[in-house]
């Protein structure tokens, strides 16, 4: 196994992005940014075009306003 993978498993580096976390704790862990990204927001979905998370009910409006409208200009 590589050194970076070992450091991620020991908790020295974030298991999501590889940022330095400090002293080892003996188990994998995530930085605040990766923790926030890992928590799904209820009722929201990712736009297939840009990846922005919007409410499921407003995805059609987002697509029309941000992508179809922008393509015409």
Q: How far apart, in whole angstroms, are the C-alpha atoms of residue 18 and residue 12?
A: 9
User: pLDDT (tens digit, 9 = 90+) per residue, 5-45?
Assistant: 999 999 999 999 999 999 988 999 999 888 877 776 678 88
Rg, Å, the chain Cα set: 18
Are 32 and 48 members of one domain?
A: no
Residue 28: domain span: 3-38
Looking at the structure of the chain, the number of domains it has is: 2
Are 26 and 49 members of one domain?
A: no
Question: Are the beta carbons of 12 and 24 closer than 8 angstroms?
Answer: yes
Helix (H/G/I), strand (E/B), else coil: 67: helix
Are 7 and 34 members of one domain?
A: yes
Are 49 and 73 members of one domain?
A: yes
Are 8 and 26 members of one domain?
A: yes
Q: How far apart, in whole angstroms, are the C-alpha atoms of residue 43 and residue 8?
A: 32
> Of the ranges 18-22, 45-49, 68-72, which one carries the lowest mean pLDDT score?
68-72
pTM value? 0.51
Name the residue with tokens 């991620």: 8
């Amino acid at each position: 196994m590589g050194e970076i993978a070992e450091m991620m498993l020991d908790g020295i580096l974030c298991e999501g992005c590889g940022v330095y976390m400090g002293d080892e704790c003996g188990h994998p862990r995530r930085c605040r940014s990766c923790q926030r990204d890992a928590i799904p927001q209820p009722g929201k979905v990712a736009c297939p075009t840009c990846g922005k998370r919007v409410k499921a009910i407003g995805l059609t409006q987002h697509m029309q306003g941000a992508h179809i409208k922008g393509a015409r200009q």
